[in-house]
Amino acid sequence: MSDSMSEPPPRTSARLPLEWIAASLKRERARTGLSLSELAKRAGIAKSTLSQLEAASGNPNVETLWALAVALGVPFSALVEPPAPQVQVIRASEGPEVASEQANYVATLLSASPPGARRDIYRLRAEPGAARMSDPHIPGTVEHLIVGSGRMKAGPAGQEAELAPGDYMTYRGDVAHSYEALEPGTTFVLVMQHT
């Protein structure tokens, strides 16, 4: 923890610890009673990939973790959230990051849903190039997006809109949707609400 009198920590990029993912996957798989084979089949991934993730090895990406979350019927954050301290400060260049294989797109979980609430908050950055295509999330998911810098195109397939700094958009997250940076240095905040 740092206080206002101490210097901020060095600006480094945090990778998501594999131990968090492994423990979360084991916990959620046990909760659902699914075998390794059945969960891998439902998520559309190789059984060996799931086995590696549960052994805290491998290199998980956004797509694999989203597929597992949907197959388990839990929010994405349930698989990646760290144990939370009582007071938490996440500086602009810190936080657990998960990168996409499809696009230059990195998600940083800022706040997972506390008990009784069902929402997650992410800070994201993206660069022009390939769009980040997202499969539908768990039923009832609604996304709220606010652009901080740059320009982007986002939304459900066929209903995408171009957004500039300060623009807000909301849409169903339980249908296929995408995010695409139109300018270098595009950043946005995404709130995922699960009903």
The stretch 109-132 carries a mean pLDDT of 82
Task: List all residues 6 or more positions away from 145 whose beta carbon is below 8 Å from its beta carbon.
Answer: 154, 163, 168, 169, 170, 188, 189, 190, 191
User: What is the overall mean pLDDT for the chain?
Assistant: 83
Per-residue model confidence as pLDDT tens digits over 52-71: 999 988 788 889 999 999 99
Phi/psi class of residue 73: alpha, beta or left (left: φ > 0; alpha: ψ in -120 to 50)?
Answer: left
What would the 3-class secondary structure string for 45-111 be? CCHHHHHHHHCCCCCCCHHHHHHHHHHHCCCCHHHHCCCCCCCCCCCCCCCEEEECCCCCEEEEEEE
State the pLDDT at residue 11. 38
Q: Which pLDDT value is given to residue 194?
A: 83
* Mean predicted confidence (pLDDT) in 19-29: 88
Q: What is the pLDDT averaged over residues 23-42? A: 91
Range scoring the smallest mean pLDDT among 34-48, 58-72, 87-101, 155-169? 87-101
* Confidence label for 16 from pLDDT (cuts 50, 70 and 90): low
